A = this chain, B = another copy of it.
Amino acid sequence: MILGTIMGTVVSTRKCRNLVGFKLLLVEPYYGDKKDIFVAADTIGAGIGELVLVTTDNTTQYALDRSAPVDAYIVGIVDAPPQPGR
């Protein structure tokens, strides 16, 4: 999974009906290249600035109640920035 920081929201009025009901959040990777910002679906209620755990590709489906065309999904809010060695 990827650790990322919530940067903002994405609003899409004309969208696929299977996307309705998801909040779409901009996520900046915590490790690696911070410019590779992506969009993750959220139902947990992550807020701007929070550090989250994102799963990708088809494994998103195992967190959902029904199938949805989302290749990144927020599966957890991280309690504190990780401290290598602990």
The residues of A with any CB-CB pair to B shorter than 8 Å are: 1-3, 7-16, 18-19, 24, 26, 31-33, 35-41, 44, 48, 53, 55-63, 67-73, 75-80, 82-86
Whether A38 pairs with B1 at a CB distance below 8 angstroms is yes
A12 (CB) vs chain B CBs: closest residue:
B76
The interface residues of chain B lying within 8 Å CB-to-CB of A53 are: 10, 12, 15, 24, 39
Determine how close the nearest CB of chain B comes to the CB of A46; give it in whole angstroms.
9
Please state the number of chain copies in the assembly. 5
Tell me whether A1 and B39 are in contact (CB under 8 A): yes
For A71, list chain B residues within 8 Å (CB): 1, 55-57, 59
State in angstroms the CA–CA spacing of A48 and B26 once bound together.
23
